[in-house]
Structure 1
Amino acid sequence: MTPRADAAFDLPSAVSTIETALSSPLPTSGPTTDQGEPLTGEWTSTRGEGFLLLPLWQSETLTGVYGREWNEAEARAESHLAALTSHLDAHWGPHRTLNMRAPLLRRGSDERFPEPFRTLFAKDCYGDLTLWGPLPTRLPSPRWAALALNQSDGDAPLILTALITDHPLTEPSSPAS
């Protein structure tokens, strides 16, 4: 699924995209790579060792949007995240939240973060992670899933993303070597 600016949020499609991603193989090694929609170049996913990051929905660009209109756009995006979270909670059980504030504040240091945090920051995905897992799959190893609502700056669109990993996510406590 390639999110289109101004496209309506489609809960069944978002759930289907996540379920498909959960059953997809994840790279076991190699570089982190971006995939894009061939005709438009829009970002469709990023794959790296043990993870898959993909956009589920994107708002319109918020350039020149202020005050009440901006607040309404943010509330609409938050309602999409809440609806998807509620659906997945009903399916997988309660989620937990990984606050991204501490890793984000440490980002300016010389610290190297492990994947997938390095990719999240490179993609301006700074939103707190709503996490589930381990989740059962038909694959030999379990999966963890996370959602986040992200915005790189006040004019950029809001982007709802899904992150699928083959390992638990915890706040990185020390630099990766």
Structure 2
Amino acid sequence: MTVPCAMIEGRNLKEACDADGVVRVASGETSRSVTARIGEVFDIGRAVSDIEALRTAELPTDGVPVSEGDPATGEWTGTSGPGFRIVPLWESDALTGVYGVEWNQAEEAAAANLALVVRELDRRWGAHREVSMHVPLFRNQAGEPMPALFQSLCDLDCYGTLTVWGPTATEGRWVAVSVNQCDGDAPMIMTAVISQRPIVELPD
């Protein structure tokens, strides 16, 4: 997987970057950057509009998954791979030094934001399904292969349960949303996925 050099922390970027300004990340190695959504107040209308735009986005047909960053800041703006794209919809404030009741409130607020999106997409597309990330997590820890979409989610620390709709009536694509947190101090991040292939539970 490749990600913009500015998104990689704890490396000698001059040595790690290749000629076109990206650094290759091995399967299971994560980038710990913030997203380009940092500082934005959650807006259900904007989130749903971004998801709708994904339904008609051009998707790669092959190749290695690549993550893009904002040219100025390197903050993550999306990841594209064969037949799929992953984008951030919202990012909470950083939770460094936040514990107890305040941390629980932040988690509840993120879950409430996700619930608003799910409710609206259920209204548009019908009842959703849930796809657990437990099997991808275990496979990633064991270094076992998995479909590129799930590997990219693991590489991005997106282990939140996927809420899935699909195939959509007009485009025949699959859509998923989730809320994720890579560790206790990191912000909550809501992501959206669009895929030309079914997003279904991986077998054990």
Scaled by the length of structure 1, what TM-score is found?
Answer: 0.91
The RMSD of aligned alpha carbons is: 1.5
Q: Which has the higher contact order (CA 8 A, sep 6+)?
A: 1
Deviation of the 1:121 alpha carbon: 0.2
| Over 3 Å off, 4+ runs | none
Gaps of 5+ in 1: none
Q: Does 2:199 match 1:173?
A: no
Q: In the comparison of the two structures, how many residue pairs are matched?
A: 170
The corresponding residue for 1:14 is 47
Mapping 1:1-177, distance limit 5 Å: 2-5=36-39, 7-137=40-170, 139=171, 142-173=172-203
SS of the aligned residue for 2:142 comes to coil
How many Å apart are 1:30 and its aligned residue? 1.3
Relative distance call for 1:63 and 1:162 in structure 2 (3 A) is same
**1:22-57, CA deviations, whole angstroms, 9 ceiling, x for partnerless residues?**
111110011211111122211010000010000000
Residue identity in the other structure for 1:149: V
CA distance in 2, matches of 1:103, 1:122: 11
Alpha-carbon distance in 2 for matches of 1:68, 1:147? 26
CA distance in 2, matches of 1:63, 1:2: 19
Q: Is the 8 A contact 1:2 1:43 kept in 2?
A: yes
C-alpha distance in 1 between matches for 2:73 and 2:49: 23
- Taking only the aligned residue pairs, the percentage that are identical comes to 47
Scaled by the length of structure 2, the TM-score of the pair is 0.80
Unpaired runs of at least 5, structure 2: 1-34
> Is the 2:59–2:83 Cα contact (8 Å) retained in structure 1?
yes
Deviations 1:30-88 (A, max 9, x none): 12111111222110100000100000000111110000110111111000000000000
Deviation, 1:106, is 3.2
In structure 1, what is the Cα distance between the partners aligned to 2:143 and 2:80?
A: 24
